[in-house]
Structure 1
């Protein structure tokens, strides 16, 4: 799939009709920047980690920003062995319409496996990546789940 054919997460959201807002800001990376630069509360921050399997399948893992991914649980949820899973290289994010610091659980590629930590189902409004490091999406967690249709598993260790 060519990069030009891939919609950015914001484009997917706009096309879906799901209500969301976008905050523009200086580029941020990680929890510290989100809390201190943007003033966002930890309990509303959703991080997305991007992985790739040895057979080139992308796996997106979305969980609260303070959580740590348990790789074995993620691999089981994604239907791959732990040995097949590696973190995606920063340059690979462009294949998903994303850039480093802007990883999002929203993606239009049908071959991407998306897994949300079960705790996301108990969250209300969340802030997540837009695909860009200088823009953050604000969306209701339940609407995000309905749009993405992820697998729901206990991912945090």
Structure 2
């Protein structure tokens, strides 16, 4: 597996310390974040998933624990919108340049507004997708917040 992705290049260019963690991705699993947490031996709340959302018709990124569900109203409020809905997976792939199961909030084709669930701040480090299926990056939540300029709010049900 190649470990150089747009996500890892973005982290390197920004001078952010991170660790790569690889695992065997199982296609067909609809709970990729939970699969990743299990495979790498991390608590599901420490492994964050990236969801592509349309906020008032515009693309945004929500980053939340793999064992939780996104609350669309909270997401809309965090990103100062009125209405949020999940983005079509094919549209998300075209927009980010990543495949579903490997979408990262880092290094997408277009920089998007992002919101990170506040629970990330309870960990010294979190895991998130490194830009391909079976690849996680481990980094400090504050580094992610600074790099993305993301809102930090309660996003989950």
TM-score class, shorter-chain normalisation, is 0.7 to 0.9
Partner of 2:16: 18
**Structure 1 range deviating more: 135-144 or 100-109:** 100-109
Q: Which runs of 4+ in 1 moved over 3 A?
A: none
Unmatched 5+ stretches in structure 1 = 1-6
State the alpha-carbon separation in 2 of the partners of residues 46 and 74 from structure 1.
15
> Given the alignment of the two structures, is residue 151 of structure 1 paired with residue 138 of structure 2, yes or no?
no
Distance in 2 (CA, whole Å) between partners of 1:104 and 1:141 is 14
- Inter-partner Cα distance in structure 1 for 2:124 and 2:134: 23
In structure 2, the residue matched to 1:41 is 43
Matched with 1:137 is 137
Q: Give the alignment's TM-score, normalised by structure 1.
A: 0.81
Aligned residue-pair number? 147
Shift, 1:107, TM fit: 4.0
Q: Which residue of 2 aligns with 1:90?
A: 89
Q: Find the counterpart in structure 1 of residue 101 from structure 2.
A: 101
Matched, 1:27 2:28: no
RMSD: 2.1
Map of 1:115 onto structure 2: 115
